Amino acid sequence: MSETVKSKEIIVDGSGLILGRLASIIAKKLLEGYKVVVVNVDKVVVSGKPSEVIKAYKRTILSVRSHHAHKWRPKRPRSPIRLFKDTVWGMLPKHNKRGREALKRLKVYVGVPEDFKGKELVKFKEADSSRLARSYVELGRIAKELGWKGEVE
């Protein structure tokens, strides 16, 4: 039984992969029942002119306001892990149990943890940034501009 669980686990190296394409591939794998681990999520890239991409993220994430002064404030994603998970979450069926359980099978890490060193890492060729004809920016840099205080390896 443990062999089937291990065979249904994918460890993805996110360095140099395009955010949207990678997220859509991972969302499909999660819905198929795979357990997906993404490492080096800070090196995932977003295509476009870096200043424009960062400005768009700041506009959509940081400038959201409310008409009420709540005790709580809406939490806005600033770390590369949350930015990536929110992108995958947007590609899953949110309003049913299947989508919620699929997201629970996703683990995301900045860098490569000790548990996954020496294991085979998968890269999806259809999501590789070498296919881009324009400039791009890494998710770690976007997160730094949004106020993330973590370390980019």
Ordered DSSP codes for the chain? -HHHHHHTEEEEE-TTBBHHHHHHHHHHHHHTT-EEEEE-GGG-EEES-HHHHHHHHIIIIIS---SS--SS------SHHHHHHHHHHTTS-TTSHHHHHHHHTEEE-SS--GGGTTSPPB--GGGBGGG-SS-EEEHHHHHHHHT--S---
136 in the Ramachandran plot: left (φ > 0), alpha (ψ -120 to 50) or beta?
Answer: beta
| Superfamily of chain region 2-64+72-146 | Ribosomal protein L13 (3.90.1180.10)
Task: Give the model's pLDDT for residue 122.
Answer: 94
Residue-wise over 42-60: b if at least 16 C-beta within 10 A, else e? Answer: bbbbbbeeeeebbeebeee
* Residues ≥6 apart with Cβ < 8 Å to 141: 50, 54, 152
- The reported pLDDT for the residue numbered 29 is 96
The per-residue pLDDT string of the chain (153 residues; one tens digit each, 9 = 90 and over) reads 444 555 689 999 999 999 999 999 999 999 999 999 999 999 999 999 999 999 998 888 776 666 666 666 666 788 999 999 999 999 999 889 999 999 999 999 999 999 999 899 999 999 999 988 889 999 999 999 988 888 766
pLDDT, residue 60, reads: 82
Q: pLDDT value at position 70?
A: 65
CA distance 21 to 126: 8
Q: Where are the domains of the chain?
A: 2-64+72-146
